[in-house]
């Protein structure tokens, strides 16, 4: 139900939150998130424009979070990359539908609930969740510092 751009934005922000020390190159982010590099540049530009990501050009350049992960909600990231399209008027353009029909009202209610849920979860919540499954990483190849995982 999320646009691909929003999914890619979430992956990039989570990756940056997991790698807070130093700049991450677009190549590193693309490889770690499995996002096509050309598409990633557009996503990172959107995130930078929204003030969530900071970019620096040059040999030691790259990307980093501009705001602590504990202050970035999933909804902030989704909104920076296009948002969740709510249904405000009849998608079919029917003249007699000045209000939403029951079907589209239910869909819009679900979208509103999704927005509310994403607004309650920060990127830090996702990264620090107590689980053996680390976002974007194979469990066997990477362990969180200071966390024990059950093998």
Indicate if the alpha-carbon torsion angle 37, 63, 121, 51 is positive or negative.
Answer: negative
Is 138's pLDDT higher than 90? Answer: no
pLDDT per residue over 86-136, tens digit each? 888 877 777 777 788 888 888 889 999 999 999 999 999 999 987 767 676
State how far the alpha carbon of 69 is from the alpha carbons of 3, 110, 137, 147, in Å: 22, 26, 18, 18
**pLDDT, tens digit, for every residue of 16-47?**
999 888 899 999 999 999 999 999 999 999 99
Neighbours of 12 (CB within 10 A): 29
Q: Is residue 137 part of a domain?
A: no
Question: Where does the pLDDT of residue 60 fall: very low under 50, low under 70, confident under 90, or very high at 90 and above?
Answer: confident
Residue 132 lies in a domain: no
Residue 75 domain-assigned (yes or no): yes
Dmax (CA) for the chain in angstroms is 60
Q: What is the span of the domain harbouring residue 19?
A: 4-85+122-127
Q: What is the pLDDT of residues 47-57, one digit of tens each?
A: 999 999 999 98
Instruction: State the total domains in the chain.
Output: 1
Q: How confident is residue 137, by pLDDT bands cut at 50, 70 and 90?
A: low
Write the CATH number for 78.
1.10.10.10
């Amino acid at each position: 139900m999320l646009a691909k751009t929003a999914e890619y934005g979430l992956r990039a922000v989570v990756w940056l939150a997991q790698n807070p020390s130093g700049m991450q190159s677009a190549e590193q982010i693309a490889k770690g998130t499995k996002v096509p590099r050309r598409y990633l540049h557009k996503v990172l530009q959107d995130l930078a424009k929204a003030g969530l990501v900071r970019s620096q050009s040059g040999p030691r350049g790259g990307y980093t979070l501009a705001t602590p992960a504990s202050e970035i909600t999933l909804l902030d990231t989704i909104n920076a990359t296009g948002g969740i399209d709510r249904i405000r008027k009849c998608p079919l353009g029917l003249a007699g539908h000045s209000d939403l029909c029951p079907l589209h009202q239910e869909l819009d209610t679900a979208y509103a609930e999704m927005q509310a849920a994403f607004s309650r979860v920060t990127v830090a919540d996702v990264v620090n969740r107590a689980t053996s499954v680390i976002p974007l990483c194979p469990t066997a190849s990477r362990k969180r510092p200071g966390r024990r995982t059950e093998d």
